Structure 1
Amino acid sequence: MTGSSILTFEDLQRITGYQRRADVERTLIEQGVRLFRGRVGPWTTIALINQAGGVKPATPEHYNADIL
């Protein structure tokens, strides 16, 4: 995987086990992962994969002056 939260086509090939673009796209779509079709292949983000899996993003804690 790359060092960022973007998963490239090569990352997705490794993750899904498929090599053909159509197979990778079909697998992601069937699993509810939103993907983008780029010039060199589909890509997505870790956040979109987590969203498809039902994982909610962590909400930052908000503090006010009462904690002081």
Structure 2
Amino acid sequence: MTPATGILTFQDLQSITGYNRRADVERILLDQGVRIFRGRTGPWTTLELINQAGGVKPASQERYGVDIL
């Protein structure tokens, strides 16, 4: 995984899923609701897209105004 961007490469996805063939990796991710992108070197996705498929919501970016003080 590229730490700064949270991008998971095809090699990362092979390791995570346990599948080696491109078609198998794509199938299992799509079956799980993970959005993937098909690149020249294989499918890739982001950690955020995997979290969304798993129902994990991003940390709230809620900001409070000065009037709450």
Question: If the length of structure 2 is used for normalisation, what is the TM-score?
Answer: 0.89
The question of 1:39 aligning with 2:13 is answered no
Counterpart of 1:15, as a letter, is: I
The question of 1:10 aligning with 2:18 is answered no
Aligned residue number for residue 48 of structure 1: 49
What is the Cα deviation at residue 32 of structure 1? 0.4
Unmatched 5+ stretches in structure 2: none
Counterpart of 1:29, as a letter, is: L
What is the Cα deviation at residue 67 of structure 1? 5.0
Question: If the length of structure 1 is used for normalisation, what is the TM-score?
Answer: 0.90
Deviations 1:14-62 (A, max 9, x none): 0000010000000000000000000000000000000000011111231
SS in 1 for 2:38: strand
Percent identity, aligned pairs only, is 74
Aligned residue number for residue 58 of structure 2: 57
Unmatched 5+ stretches in structure 1: none
Q: Aligned partners of 2:27, 2:34: CA distance in 1, in Å?
A: 10
